[in-house]
Chains A and B, each alone.
Chain A
Amino acid sequence: MRLIISLLFAVSFSGIAAAADGSYYIGSHSGVDLRLAPRNSATVSGHLERKTAVEVIDRRRSWTKVQSLGSGIRGWVPAGAVRKSYSSAKPSRSSSSFFSSFTSMFRSPEPPRKTAVLGVRGLEDTGAASAEKAATEQANKAVEWMETLDVPDEAVAAFINEGDLNP
């Protein structure tokens, strides 16, 4: 079910890009030393500061081989020092087709909130009953859309990591 909801979400936000190499960065507070081999005793060949964007080029047990996207230097670092940016999974800035159709429904020709408000305000014209029904249907569709806003666990984990929040 969660998978289905996630897929629905992905469909709703068609601009979501798949996570790809290059969406990683160094997350350790004090940066990390690069080593020539995947072990603590290996020679240190350089240092990457925190937040340096890197490409992951190899993995071996608890070590990850990275290359800085800026300086190009590469080496092995403890896997825990590398974090995936949640930005890689965020939707594009362009509006989704759902939102386009949804807002056009909602805003034209007359915003439903003016005629169909829960008995708090009265109906204002003879066509108000049908307008109210249409507004209710639109609102129900909007709630169904909300139920597609489930976010993948890995995106939440990356969001937490990127913010240095408690995992």
Chain B
Amino acid sequence: MMRIILTMVAMLMITPVHAFDIGIGGFGVGGNSDKASKRFNQAKQLFKVASALIPISNEEERILGKKVAARVIARYGIENSPEMTYYLNLMATAIAQRADRPDIPYYVAILDTDDVNAYACPGGFIFLTRGVLNTVRDEAELAAVLAHEISHITERHIVNALRNSKLMKVGTEVAADAFKTPGPLLEQMTSFATDALFNGLNKSDEYESDAKAVEYLNRLGYDYPAMFDVLELLDARRKQGAAEVLSKTHPSPQTRIQELKSEVKSLSLDEPTGIRLPNRFATHAPKQKNAS
């Protein structure tokens, strides 16, 4: 697969040279110049994709994800709510089946903290805090939070950050061995991924996940404006001081709303369905008190 992509890149990198010549000769003539530019951009895009394909397989990602998830649990502990946990896993699976990466399983657990936040570890491990469950008002808003987290995994945000890190300069083979025989390098990768999770991803990743969440909500038929409502809610909670970690690790909700409004215009969305399901949400995810 890698070889095919590299071959395609090479072919496209060669082709624009010829096209570029025509473009220079026809300076100011739109047609050939545009073609050359288009092909060059295609080549650049493919090269970018190929460069990003330092292989970390699903299985390797899962090994990493399990270690990161263990660190998240060690920090917060798990909330004992079997019914709510089951409800969340049903919803996450329904969303993930229509998301861009349905080939891996997704698991959701509730963190024993009132701070308003959520975490998506590589490999499909997702955590929602009790605080965020107490903040959202209906199932569509909850689905928006889950869809946002799922999209961090479908877009491999942490894995890609790791691929671009110095840790991966050890070479593909050494990196692959690190997953087969866990040792210091895997621990370093785990620390890198955990730090990314706790300290925040790139702003652009967050904006992308907001837009993807809208897409996923739309595909499943939830009322996708719920994503905007969640951001407004987060803004309100942030002002109350209840989302301290979230405030440090994410762009401000108002900035995210503005970015999302702009992004949504380019998405192909259906009319909002109005499906919010507040009653089902209230039945299966009743407001929790601090258990500690």
Binding site for B on A (CB under 8 A): 5, 13, 15, 86, 90-93, 95-96, 99-100, 102-103, 106-107, 111-113, 116-120, 135-136, 138-140, 142-143, 146-147, 149-151, 155-156, 159-160, 162-166
Contact = CB atoms under 8 A, between A and B. Distances in A.
B225 interface: no
Q: How large is the interface on B (under 10, 10 to 19, 20 to 34, 35 or more residues)?
A: 35 or more
A30 B194 CA distance: 50
A165 B275 contact: yes
A90 B77 CA distance: 24
B191 A163 contact: no
A15 B71 CA distance: 29
B280 interface: yes
B241 interface: no
Given A118-B194, A146-B125, A155 B74 contact: no
A140 B220 contact: no
Contacts of A150: 89, 105, 107
A129 to B, nearest CB: 14
A95 B80 contact: yes
Contacts of B97: 156
Nearest to A111: B77
A93 B82 CA distance: 7
A133 to B, nearest CB: 11
B271 interface: no
Interface string B178-218: 00000000000001001000100000000000000000000
Given A113-B77, A163-B275, A165-B275, A143 B93 contact: no
B74 A156 contact: no
B71 A139 contact: yes
11 contacts: A91-B82, A95-B80, A96-B82, A111-B292, A118-B74, A139-B70, A139-B74, A143-B66, A163-B139, A165-B220, A166-B221
B56 interface: no
